[in-house]
């Protein structure tokens, strides 16, 4: 039974919903009442005309009184169209109930009087008021309509009496047909109402399950955020414990290099490797700790006003030797003048990392370092002719601890993949953006856009799944 109800409601609703104006659909209670209204007006006239056509079969004549009853019953088919055109749900429902009362009392007056077999249909009127008029005020109006029509019916009987248009045997047969049709009509409405209630019950149950799942996800997210914050705070506090042993290793290796015999080249080479590995590991730990501080919200922007043009030239001069070390052509397009208000140390760390990438992964090529002012923002670009980054890698370029099967692209930024995520977060923290465009075998362009009046402090936003902007390549 439940399966039949579950299958019945969607099919019928799909048929009747076409006649429902959009303004009546947001309220669930109103929508249920409108569906019941339409359903009764689609199928009710079939049962009503079964009674009128049975009258002709049982001996009644197709006179004026019969045609009035037949047309009044058939007129219920007009209401769905009127509802779609006007949207006047409550007025049409009250007019429809009045028309039903007219059909009942007109048929009773013409065919059998107070004992008319059509009189049982009067029971359907309050049921229809319950089905499609849920408000108390409209139900009171329906009750007034019923009483007024009963009084009018009794007044007609008192003044004129009833017509005798059918024999007693015909009225008995008509009574059986009328009672059967009324029972079918009430059962059909009740079944449809039950299917709607069942569908709503399933919907409410599903909504409750979704809410429970949503709450579980919120709880899990909250736990994950607390765990992430605890991890970030722990790493931030552990900076000295992690860095002190490395500083000792680096310091002793430098002392040993100074004391080593110049003739023992292998020993000096080994000590230099130890020192270099220590510096790389120290830099990695610095990046990891800085990322943890960013995630924990412990990094603030210390903005100050600086001469950006002069600062840019000093940065380019310092980066030049490392670029040239791999036989690269170093082109600097510095701005002639201009100032910026930002955290210069943070910006320098961003650009140092990006220039280091260009120097490390471009060999025998060209690196262009440029800056210009546009719409109140400084746009700094680093273009190289290095290996480039595959498009499959671009989606996770700013994610931390990303993995890749491609050795070259996985090392772009640094071996652990922290350079670009850190640079991206620093740019966001200062109110700017960082974007990357790259082609494998052609090169990479990294662009930093920073307002001339950068933020003094801001909340770090999570990195997106892909770079925000892709800027066409410059031809080196």
- Whether 311 has a pLDDT exceeding 80, the answer reads yes
pLDDT for 468: 37
Let me know if residue 232 belongs to a domain.
no
Under 8 Å CB-to-CB from 127, ≥6 apart: which residues?
A: 186, 189
pTM for the model: 0.46
pLDDT for 200: 61
114: its two tokens: 């107070």
pLDDT for 472: 41
Let me know if residue 462 belongs to a domain.
no
The boundaries of the domain holding residue 359 are 304-451
Which range has the worst mean pLDDT, 168-177, 348-357, 456-465? 456-465
Does residue 298 or residue 5 have the better pLDDT? 298
* pLDDT tens readout for residues 195-208: 666 666 555 677 77
**CATH number, residue 374:** 3.30.565.10
pLDDT for 475: 42
Of 295, 326, 359, which closes a domain? Answer: 295
Do 320 and 270 lie in one domain? The reply is no
Do 192 and 82 lie in one domain? The reply is yes
Highest mean pLDDT: which range of 156-170, 275-289, 329-343, 388-402: 329-343
Rounded Cα distance between 108 and 93, Å, is: 22
Do 309 and 280 lie in one domain? The reply is no
Let me know if residue 461 belongs to a domain.
no
pLDDT for 193: 66
What is the CB neighbour count within 10 angstroms for residue 158? 8
Let me know if residue 13 belongs to a domain.
yes
Q: What band does 452 get if pLDDT is binned at 50, 70 and 90? A: confident
Let me know if residue 427 belongs to a domain.
yes
Instruction: State mean pLDDT over 386-395.
Output: 82
Instruction: State mean pLDDT over 302-307.
Output: 87
pLDDT for 370: 93
In Å, what is the CA distance from 23 to each residue of 33, 34, 83, 130, 356?
14, 12, 11, 22, 62
Q: What does the mean pLDDT of the chain come to?
A: 77
Q: Residue 449: beta bridge partners?
A: 379, 433
Q: What band does 57 get if pLDDT is binned at 50, 70 and 90? A: confident
Do 317 and 278 lie in one domain? The reply is no
Rounded Cα distance between 56 and 271, Å, is: 116
- State whether the Cα torsion 334-339-345-351 is positive or negative: negative
- Whether 167 has a pLDDT exceeding 70, the answer reads no
Rounded Cα distance between 444 and 457, Å, is: 30
Do 115 and 173 lie in one domain? The reply is yes
Rounded Cα distance between 160 and 153, Å, is: 11
Instruction: State mean pLDDT over 51-61.
Output: 82
Among residues 143, 166, 64, 162, which one has the least CA distance to residue 97?
A: 143
Among residues 189, 187, 166, which one has the least CA distance to residue 51?
A: 166
* pLDDT tens readout for residues 238-259: 666 777 777 788 887 888 877 7
Angle, CA of 214, 218 and 221, to the nearest 5°: 135
- Whether 303 has a pLDDT exceeding 80, the answer reads yes
Instruction: State mean pLDDT over 39-55.
Output: 85
Instruction: State mean pLDDT over 377-385.
Output: 92
Strands of the 433-439 sheet, one edge to the other: 329-333, 366-374, 377-384, 443-451, 433-439
In Å, what is the CA distance from 64 to each residue of 25, 48, 70, 117, 176?
41, 18, 10, 20, 24
Under 8 Å CB-to-CB from 231, ≥6 apart: which residues?
A: 292
309: its two tokens: 């043009």
Contact present, 118 and 111 (Cβ < 8 Å): yes
Q: What band does 29 get if pLDDT is binned at 50, 70 and 90? A: confident
Do 247 and 362 lie in one domain? The reply is no
Total tally of structural domains belonging to the chain: 3
pLDDT for 269: 79
pLDDT for 82: 92
pLDDT for 326: 86
What's the distance, CA 144 to chain centroid?
Answer: 49
In Å, what is the CA distance from 156 to each residue of 100, 106, 161, 346?
18, 10, 7, 97
400: its two tokens: 């931390």
Which range has the worst mean pLDDT, 11-15, 117-121, 209-213, 304-308? 11-15
3-class DSSP string for the chain: CHHHHHHHHHHHHHHHHHHCCHHHCCCHHHHHHHHHHHHHHHHHHHHHHHHHHHHHHCCCCCCHHHHHHHHHHHHHHHHHHHHHHHCCHHHHHHHHHHHHHHHHHHHHHHECHHHCCCHHHHHHHHHHHHHHCCCHHHHHHHHHHHHHHHHHHHHHHHHCCCCECCCHHHHHHHHHHHHHHHHHHHHHHHHHHHHHHHHHHHHHHHHHHHHHHHHHHHHHHHHHHHHHHHHHHHHHHCHHHHHHHHHHHHHHHHHHHHHCCCCCHHHHHHHHHHHHHHHHHHHHHHHHHHHHHHHCCCCCCCCEEEEHHHHHHHHHHHHHHHHHCCCCEEEEECCCCCEEEECHHHHHHHHHHHHHHHHHCCCCCEEEEEEEEECCEEEEEEEECCCCCCHHHHCCCCCCCCCCCCHHHHCCCCCCCCHHHHHHHHHHHCCCEEEEEEECCCEEEEEEEEECECCCCCCCCCCCCCCCCCCCCCCC
pLDDT for 332: 92
Do 121 and 200 lie in one domain? The reply is yes
Q: What band does 462 get if pLDDT is binned at 50, 70 and 90? A: very low
Q: What band does 384 get if pLDDT is binned at 50, 70 and 90? A: very high
Let me know if residue 436 belongs to a domain.
yes
Instruction: State mean pLDDT over 372-384.
Output: 90
Do 164 and 274 lie in one domain? The reply is no
- Whether 166 has a pLDDT exceeding 70, the answer reads no
Do 21 and 153 lie in one domain? The reply is yes
Under 8 Å CB-to-CB from 2, ≥6 apart: which residues?
A: 198
Let me know if residue 407 belongs to a domain.
yes
Does residue 289 or residue 39 have the better pLDDT? 39
Of 164, 195, 212, which closes a domain? Answer: 212
Do 147 and 45 lie in one domain? The reply is yes
pLDDT for 369: 93
pLDDT for 415: 46
Q: What band does 78 get if pLDDT is binned at 50, 70 and 90? A: very high
- Whether 414 has a pLDDT exceeding 50, the answer reads no
Do 309 and 343 lie in one domain? The reply is yes
pLDDT for 314: 92
Do 390 and 358 lie in one domain? The reply is yes
Let me know if residue 457 belongs to a domain.
no
């Amino acid at each position: 039974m439940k399966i039949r109800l579950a299958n019945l409601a969607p099919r019928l609703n799909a048929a009747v919903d076409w006649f429902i104006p959009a303004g009546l659909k947001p309220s669930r209670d109103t929508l249920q009442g409108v569906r019941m209204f339409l359903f009764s007006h689609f199928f009710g006239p079939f049962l009503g005309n079964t009674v009128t056509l049975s009258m002709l079969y049982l001996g009644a004549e197709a006179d004026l009184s019969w045609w009035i009853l037949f047309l009044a019953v058939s007129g219920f088919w007009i209401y769905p169209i009127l509802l779609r055109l006007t949207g006047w749900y409550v007025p049409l429902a009250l007019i429809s109930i009045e028309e039903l009362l007219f059909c009942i009392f007109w048929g009773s007056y013409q065919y059998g009087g107070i004992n008319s077999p059509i009189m049982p249909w009067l029971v359907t009127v309050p049921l229809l008021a319950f089905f499609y008029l849920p408000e108390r005020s409209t139900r009171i109006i329906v009750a007034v309509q019923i009483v007024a029509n009963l009084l009018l019916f009794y007044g007609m009987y008192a003044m004129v009496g009833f017509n005798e248009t059918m024999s007693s045997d015909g009225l008995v047969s008509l009574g059986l047909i009328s009672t059967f049709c009324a029972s079918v009509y009430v059962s059909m409405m009740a079944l449809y109402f039950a299917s709607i209630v069942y569908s709503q019950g399933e919907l409410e149950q599903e909504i409750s399950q979704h809410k429970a799942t949503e709450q579980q996800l919120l709880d899990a997210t909250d736990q994950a955020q607390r765990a992430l914050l605890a991890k970030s705070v722990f790493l931030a506090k552990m900076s000295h414990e992690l860095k002190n042993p490395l500083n000792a290793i680096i310091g002793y290796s430098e002392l040993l290099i100074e004391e080593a015999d110049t003739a023992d080249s292998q020993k000096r080479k080994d000590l230099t490797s130890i020192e270099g590995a220590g510096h790389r590991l120290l830099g990695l730990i610095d990046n990891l700790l800085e990322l943890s501080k960013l995630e924990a919200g412990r990094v603030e922007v210390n903005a100050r006003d600086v001469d950006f043009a002069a600062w840019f030239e000093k940065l380019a001069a310092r980066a030049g030797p490392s670029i040239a070390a791999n036989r690269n052509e170093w082109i600097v397009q510095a701005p002639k003048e201009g100032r910026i208000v930002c955290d210069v140390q943070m910006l320098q760390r961003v650009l140092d990392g990006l220039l280091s990438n260009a120097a490390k992964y471009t060999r025998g090529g060209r690196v262009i370092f440029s800056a210009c002012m546009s719409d109140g923002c400084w746009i700094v670009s680093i273009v190289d002719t290095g290996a480039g980054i595959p498009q499959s890698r671009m989606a996770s370029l700013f994610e931390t601890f990303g993995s890749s099967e491609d050795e070259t692209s996985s090392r772009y930024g640094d071996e652990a993949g922290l350079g670009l995520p850190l640079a991206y977060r620093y740019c966001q923290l200062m109110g700017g953006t960082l974007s990357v465009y790259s082609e494998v075998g052609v090169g990479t362009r990294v662009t930093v856009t920073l307002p001339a009046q950068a933020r003094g402090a801001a909340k770090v936003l999570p990195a997106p799944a892909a770079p925000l902007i892709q800027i066409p390549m410059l031809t080196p």
